[in-house]
Amino acid sequence: MKKEIICTVCPRGCAITVEGGDGKVTSIEGNGCKRGLSFAETEFTSPVRLLTSTVRVAGKENELLPVRTRTPILRDKLFDVMNAIRATTVTLPVKQHDVVISDVCGTGVDVIASRDME
Ligand code: SF4
């Protein structure tokens, strides 16, 4: 399998070609530096993303609390995590970095508040 990946580690945005199969990389071409190697390998074998979203606030129909995953999560889990976030309502007050959902969907990663809300 061959995959074209744009490296997002720095603004240069190298177009990297990765080949492999069964979760293993056999060749990487097009990276402008070593950092692109590990980025491309991770993107090919187990891509991760930092997820940002909002959750409902109890008693405040027109307000939403911005949240994010504390660290990137596997891209395969994004849909499940979005559903968990949609099903969540927080009670104020909330401080930045408070845990809104612990170990979301068994990922080992918390969803946390992105800012204070009184
Ligand atoms: S491969 Fe290196 S130079 Fe190219 S975008 Fe990634 S970090 Fe930047």
Total structural domains within the chain: 2
**What was the pLDDT predicted at 23?**
82
- Domain of residue 12, residue span: 2-46
Which of 12, 29, 37 to mutate for ligand 1's pocket (most ligand atoms within 8 Å of CB)? 12
**68/29 same-domain check:** no
Cα–Cα distance for residue pair 77/85, rounded to 1 Å: 12
DSSP secondary structure letter of residue 97? T
Q: Ligand 1: distance of its center to the CA of 61 in Å?
A: 44
Cα–Cα distance for residue pair 39/69, rounded to 1 Å: 19
Cα–Cα distance for residue pair 17/4, rounded to 1 Å: 5
Report, as ranges of residue numbers, the positions in the chain whose pLDDT lies below 70: none
**39/85 same-domain check:** no
**59/85 same-domain check:** yes
Which of 6, 14, 18 to mutate for ligand 1's pocket (most ligand atoms within 8 Å of CB)? 14
What residue ranges line ligand 1, CB within 6 angstroms?
7, 9-10, 12-14, 31-33, 35-36, 39
**61/99 same-domain check:** yes
Residue 7 within a domain? yes
DSSP 55-88: EEETTEEEEEEEEEESS-EEGGGHHHHHHHHHT-
**56/109 same-domain check:** yes
Q: Helix (H, G, I), strand (E, B), or coil: what is residue 95?
A: coil
Residue 118 within a domain? no
**20/66 same-domain check:** no
Cα–Cα distance for residue pair 34/28, rounded to 1 Å: 11
**What was the pLDDT predicted at 22?**
87
**What was the pLDDT predicted at 6?**
96
**What was the pLDDT predicted at 48?**
93
